[in-house]
Amino acid sequence: MKKGCSYILEKGRVIDPQKGIDQVLDIGIEDGIFVEPGKVKKPVRINLKGFIAAPGFIDMHVHLRQPGGTDKETIKTGTMAAAAGGFTSIVAMPNTSPAADTPGAIEYLKAHAETSGCVNVLPAGCITKNYEGVEMSGIGGLKKAGIVALTDDGNCVYNNELMEHVLVYSKTFRLPVLDHCQDAFLSEGGLVHDGFWGAVKGLRGIPSASESIMVARDIILAEVANWKVHIQHVSATGSVELIRNARKKGIQVSAEVTPHHIALTDECIKNFDTNFKMNPPLRGEDDRKKLIEGLQDGTISVIATDHAPHTITDKMVEFAYAPFGVIGLETAVSVCLTELYHTGYLDLRDVVSKFTSGPAEVLGIDAGTIELGKKADVTVLNPDFKYTIDKEKFYSKSRNTPFNGKKVKGRAVATIVSGKFVFSLIDGISGII
């Protein structure tokens, strides 16, 4: 990347959960890296009084759809959406077409991210070839190509023996395994949560047990392999309890939750609106409360969006025929500040940790903290910024949000990647996008 300007971010409340910092401090940035504020030459001074300056936010669950689905999203539009949502780094899911299961596919992603991406794109590789759950992909080669994690996201690795081998093998390469937990039989044909609204609306359910069974399986195998398994988009009460107990025992299991599972319940499907159709499905109010509890006690250390763009044509169909998935990059921070911070469930430091130190630790990457000499990625928040979410203002190519029209409080007002403002709502500072 080109050299950026030099900045001093002044008078902001700096929250860096990994370092245990929560105080008003100045941050110096020169040549794209963090430096002592006193040593910055010819800085542009930016007053962040009243704002939060946090390490750059990481979304470890994003579908960029390139290659193969560029009518839904591209690396360019997806990273713009990330920047507008406050994310400086995103992990790209490998279920593209063709799938990211070869070093060549990872090179393709990195090359395009370099030329057309405006935030850091961290590649994930498939656990199995074409994420079919049959044959292990070339994990060592993928690691050399630069992946940060393995996942067959969209599919679960149903074969227990294969999953065990994957966990044992991936430990050699220090690659965490991210699993989309669902049982093949229990989830087959399911459209919504197997609960009240599914029963009343005659929509086939995906039971909570479908997720929890595989969470239990993954925990057992993580213990056997003594390696890291990460449960993607946890949705059910039982899963939270299993993960909590396993973490107490010291098993290397971590978990993420999406903003939509925190904010919404299965009641949202009562009008058959496909913008509330996602997998795992929105579950009951008890589950929603349990997920928040999991965030509070640290069982769930990551918030990730599962940003899953689909075209209007894809979604404007019968509920049963619509693809699963909603977008989230441009709403996540606002929704979480509204639903977790302003409700009093979490303090700001905890909210920030779920987007920074939490995912950085799972991925084992050098990010999520403000460190002198390291890449200057910063997310600036205004926790009291009130607005109404308007999907027509999104940078994403898609509009399939469950939050259109929602009144929120709090948002990312600037996104700085390697010392450059890629997005800014701050007076006098313009972002790249």
Distances in Å between the Cα of 185 and the Cα atoms of 77, 156, 213, 288, 403 are 36, 12, 11, 24, 31
Determine the Cα angle at 195 with ends 194 and 198, to 5°: 75
CB 278, min distance to another protein, A: 16
Identified binder of another protein from the candidate list 320, 343, 366, 432, rule CB under 8 A = 320
Identified binder of another protein from the candidate list 23, 42, 185, 249, rule CB under 8 A = 185
Active site residue 297: no
* Three-class secondary structure of residue 104 per DSSP: helix
Written as one string, the DSSP assignment of 199-244 is: HHHTPPEE-HHHHHHHHHHHHHHHHHHT--EEE-S---HHHHHHHH
316 counts as binding another protein under rule CB under 8 A: yes
Is the Cβ of residue 196 or residue 385 nearer to another protein in the bound state?
A: 196
Q: Which residues of 251-272 are buried (b: 16+ CB within 10 A; e: fewer)?
A: bbbbbbbbbbbbbbbbebbeee
188 counts as binding another protein under rule CB under 8 A: yes
CB 301, min distance to another protein, A: 33
Binding segment for another protein (CB under 8 A), chosen from 158-166, 191-199, 350-358, 416-424, is 191-199
Is the Cβ of residue 24 or residue 317 nearer to another protein in the bound state?
A: 317
Contact 244, 236 (CB under 8 A): no
Is the Cβ of residue 199 or residue 224 nearer to another protein in the bound state?
A: 199
CB 276, min distance to another protein, A: 12
CB 314, min distance to another protein, A: 10
Query: DSSP strand E in 5-157: where?
Result: 7-16, 21-30, 33-35, 44-47, 52-55, 57-62, 87-92, 120-125, 149-151
Sign of the four-CA dihedral 135, 138, 139, 142: negative
11 counts as binding another protein under rule CB under 8 A: no
- The CA distance from 158 to 179, in Å, is 10
201 counts as binding another protein under rule CB under 8 A: yes
CB 117, min distance to another protein, A: 33
Residue 232 in tokens: 């993607």
Q: What is the footprint of another protein within residues 263-302 (CB under 8 A)?
A: 271-272
Contact 384, 416 (CB under 8 A): no
Q: What is the footprint of another protein within residues 365-424 (CB under 8 A)?
A: none
Identified binder of another protein from the candidate list 20, 38, 202, 373, rule CB under 8 A = 202
Please report, as a single letter, which amino acid is at residue 319: F
318 counts as binding another protein under rule CB under 8 A: yes
203 counts as binding another protein under rule CB under 8 A: yes
Instruction: Measure CA of the first residue to CA of the last residue in the chain; give whole Å.
Output: 16
CB 287, min distance to another protein, A: 14
> How many contiguous H segments (helices) and E segments (strands) does the chain have?
14, 18
Catalytic residue among 179, 183, 306, 377: 306
Q: Give the closest residue to 166 by CA, choosing from 224, 246, 109, 210.
A: 224
Is the Cβ of residue 149 or residue 269 nearer to another protein in the bound state?
A: 269
Is the Cβ of residue 310 or residue 411 nearer to another protein in the bound state?
A: 310
134 counts as binding another protein under rule CB under 8 A: no
| Residues labelled as active-site residues | 306
Binding residues for another protein, per CB under 8 A?
185, 188-189, 195-196, 198-204, 271-272, 313, 316-321
